[in-house]
Structure 1
Amino acid sequence: MSAAARNAAPNPASALRRKSEAKATKAKTMSIGVVLESLHAQFPEVTVSKIRFLESEGLISPQRTVSGYRRFTQEDVDRLRYILTTQRDNYTPLKVIREQLEALDSGQVTAIVSAGKTEPLVTPEQFKAPTITRLTDTDVANQAGCSEQDVAELYKIGLISPDSSGFFNTDDVAVASAAIALRAFGFDTRQLKSLRNNARRQADLISQVASPVANSKADTARQQAEELSQQMTALVVSLHATLVKTDLRNEYNS
């Protein structure tokens, strides 16, 4: 390849580099609402608070108008895509992403886009709080395909529970549906309670790590703790699923 061709070839890291002189240019900028709209197709769970949180963590540095409004360049949007993709597909902690971005910014490495990467079975986005809903026990029974008596029993053994107003949510429907399906395979109440207790122990382990972050004095402490919990939950569930699969394979192949 000639020198001219090499110079003309696109640099995969150029969209992520945040050199100070680049900010001095009169690049076209966009509002945070426009940025959010451009990201939603690929990352439907991203929110304004998420973008602000990433800024507070020093991962992105949008420009500010005299009035204090954020203005984003296309480089900022590309950088956000890199961060969100790395979090979603690789469960990478923000500390590691920051180190990767610093290496990209300094030109030590270039961005690598994996072709044909298999989507992960479990992602942190799956562990966000459920959409606010107000479902009665009848609603849960209808949506889960079970009886109200089934719902009452699942509540009794602690698999689902209403909020302080007495209403259930979509997560309760998912739990009820899975529990009824397991019953069809022969799972009894004792075994379902065992699954619930295992989940509680895993949640406690995650909480031990996330709670100190949530209790810190940082303005973004709660957001940071939620992000951390979602990433750890995805990893714990993925690890648990793989270990169960491995144990069963070893049992049947022994």
Structure 2
Amino acid sequence: MIAASGASSASGSGAEPERWPQGISRHATMRISDVLAQLGGDFPAVSHSKLRFLEEQGLITPVRTGAGYRQYSPADVERLRFVLAEQRDSYLPLKIIKERLAAMDAGEPAPVPSPRPAPQQGAATSRRRWTVDLVAEATGTSPEFVRSLVDAGLLRETAGTLGADAADVVRITARLAEHGIEPRHLRPLRTSADRHVDLVDQVVAPYRSQQAEQGRAHAHELADELGDLLARLHTSWIRQGTTELP
């Protein structure tokens, strides 16, 4: 397995130019969970599925171990940080971000990041712990609407804190509400999702209970893969059904 640093990867005749970011270690030792822990503070909505999707789109290329597990380097993390920041701050599609990365790989300087509004006092840390008021502010909805999603069971609140995906859930449900689809109509969808999670849990439980770190890593990756497959299956059924409507 080749996992050399940037300096060694560029040495030797005929070696390909070092991809951006240059000068950062390409020694891949981090698991997906390690990467999420590093990125979660700035990008709380990032997930296993998101990393897999970016890999499928060719934006990152983690190393695969002999057992098939993904491992990431510090350079991979910085590349991911750039992609996620461009999506969040500049609202760029992945096609444009990929073109920018290709240009940076070829030696062009990285673009100056778009300025972000200065956070309010205390917001830098509290953004990592979504509350009803913070989610309402971030999504342009009312606290009453967000609270209605909590009451309907579409959002879960623990000790006053909502999940990392709360803002996405609120944005989607707000769009659906514009068409008369209210939170109460979405309860069966949430129940179905919970059942799918339980199904995945049954499959990965034997691996998660293993003492070996490799077994627990496999449990995380398997859960992510199964969740992605179930989500795609549900999406396919919905799209097929809507296209067949008279």
For normalisation by structure 1, the TM-score amounts to: 0.49
2:169 aligns to what SS in structure 1? helix
1:141 aligns to what SS in structure 2? helix
Q: 1:82-231 alignment to 2 at 5 Å?
A: 88-89=55-56, 133-164=128-159, 166-231=160-225
Structure (1 or 2) with the larger CA radius of gyration: 1
C-alpha displacement at 1:228, in angstroms? 0.8
Higher relative contact order (CA 8 A, sep 6+): 1
Whether the 8 Å contact between 1:160 and 1:172 is mirrored in structure 2 is yes
1:30 aligns with 2:11: no
C-alpha displacement at 1:223, in angstroms? 2.1
Q: Which amino acid aligns with 1:234?
A: D
Structure 1 runs not aligned, ≥5 long:
1-17, 42-46, 54-83, 91-95, 101-118, 120-131
Per-residue Cα deviation, 1:203-228 (whole angstroms, up to 9, x for no partner): 11211111111012322333221111
Give the Cα–Cα distance (whole angstroms) in 2 for the partners of residues 151 and 85 of structure 1.
29
1:49 aligns with 2:30: yes
Number of aligned pairs?
Answer: 153
Q: 1:65-84 alignment to 2 at 5 Å?
A: none
For normalisation by structure 2, the TM-score amounts to: 0.51
Per-residue Cα deviation, 1:184-221 (whole angstroms, up to 9, x for no partner): 11112331111111111111121111111101232233
C-alpha displacement at 1:236, in angstroms? 1.1
C-alpha displacement at 1:149, in angstroms? 0.8
1:251 aligns to what SS in structure 2? coil
Whether the 8 Å contact between 1:207 and 1:229 is mirrored in structure 2 is yes
What percentage of residue pairs aligned between the two structures are identical? 24
C-alpha displacement at 1:237, in angstroms? 0.8
